[in-house]
Amino acid sequence: MPGAETFRASADAYDRHVGRYGAQLAAALIAFARVEPGMRALDVGCGPGALTSVLAERLGEASVCAADPSEPFAEACRTRVPGVEVVVAPAEALPFADHAFGATLSQLVVNFMRDPEAGVREMARVTRPGGLVAACVWDYAGEMTLLRAFWDAARVVDRERAAAADEGAIMRWCGEGELAELWREAGLHAVRFGELVVRAGYADFEDLWSPLPSGVAPSGAFCKSLDEDRRTALHDAYRSRLGVGEGPFELTARAWAVAGIAHR
Ligand SMILES: C[S@@+](CC[C@H](N)C(=O)[O-])C[C@H]1O[C@@H](n2cnc3c(N)ncnc32)[C@H](O)[C@@H]1O
């Protein structure tokens, strides 16, 4: 999927961008998936470790493993939760035995997988019979405010290039219900679909803007690719689209979630 390479970036920039929602989203996904104490869990596409950290708090570091194809993100995750085994690997080729986990989760990753059908089949393979497989993706086209407003502002500045990069337009598996279809096709049972709504706080608009020129995530990569005049125009259009002033504010973000049971 175009965009996956934009995560070979600084974990700090990621944490100040969408990572700001990560811990709350992880808690919501864990509750939706019905992860229980005593389970051994795998975080697929762990990034710098938002979901891994919350899983480790709930289940203990020794009961959690994590995987991500990005070296810098895997390293940041290891530093954040040193007792967790973190491997550099994509979802499509997980280096774990069949039925190794009671819960296999993935947060904000399915839409970046090169081959999502293969990735979800791998998630099911490493999950024990009766175990759970769950994921969430942003509602890019709708109520993920930070990114929706970004791409709407980007279209004002460079209509054609923004239309070709807008995650709400080009990402698969991010429409209501699409994930459930993917889960059923991977052979998962008792598939449930739902929404997770989380919030993040910002000191001011500059706090929100600051990670983007580094090129992190598809939105940051688009921002970085602009010349200075267009980047300034994007900055101003984005701020106006969000309708925020000098002071602190909060944004909400919606993700779609899916969960199913493996090998019944
Ligand atoms: C939006 S980030 C989400 C990171 C983390 N799960 C979180 O919630 O903050 C997307 C992650 O997917 C990873 N990724 C990209 N392609 C992948 C693949 N084929 N399999 C697994 N992870 C992948 C990226 O390296 C990146 O860490």
Q: Compute the distance from residue 263 Cα to the ligand 1 centre, in Å.
A: 25
pTM, two decimal places: 0.95
Atom 14 of ligand 1, nearest CA residue: 45
Q: Compute the distance from residue 72 Cα to the ligand 1 centre, in Å.
A: 12
Q: Are strands 127-138 and 64-68 parallel, antiparallel or unpaired?
A: unpaired
CA atoms within 13 A on the CB side of 205: 15
Looking at residue 23, the DSSP 8-state letter turns out to be: H
Q: Compute the distance from residue 68 Cα to the ligand 1 centre, in Å.
A: 6
Give the separation between CA 15 and CA 35, rounded to whole angstroms: 24
Pocket of ligand 1 (CB under 6 A): 4, 7, 18-19, 22, 44-47, 50-51, 68-70, 73, 90-92, 107-109, 112-114, 119
- Per-residue model confidence (pLDDT) at position 6: 75
Atom 13 of ligand 1, nearest CA residue: 45
CA distances from 177 to 76, 122, 189 (A): 33, 21, 15
pLDDT(163) > 70: yes
pLDDT band at 176 (very low <50, low <70, confident <90, very high): confident
pLDDT tens for 207-216 read: 999 999 999 9
Q: Compute the distance from residue 243 Cα to the ligand 1 centre, in Å.
A: 30
**Percent of the chain with pLDDT strictly greater than 90:** 91
Residues 55 and 35 sit within 8 Å (Cβ to Cβ): yes
Amino acid letter at 31? A
pLDDT tens for 68-92 read: 999 999 999 999 999 999 999 999 9
Residues 253 and 138 sit within 8 Å (Cβ to Cβ): yes
- Per-residue model confidence (pLDDT) at position 264: 66
Three-state SS annotation for 178-243: HHHHHHHHCCCEEEEEEEEEEEEEECCHHHHHCCHHHCCHHHHHHHHHCCHHHHHHHHHHHHHHHC
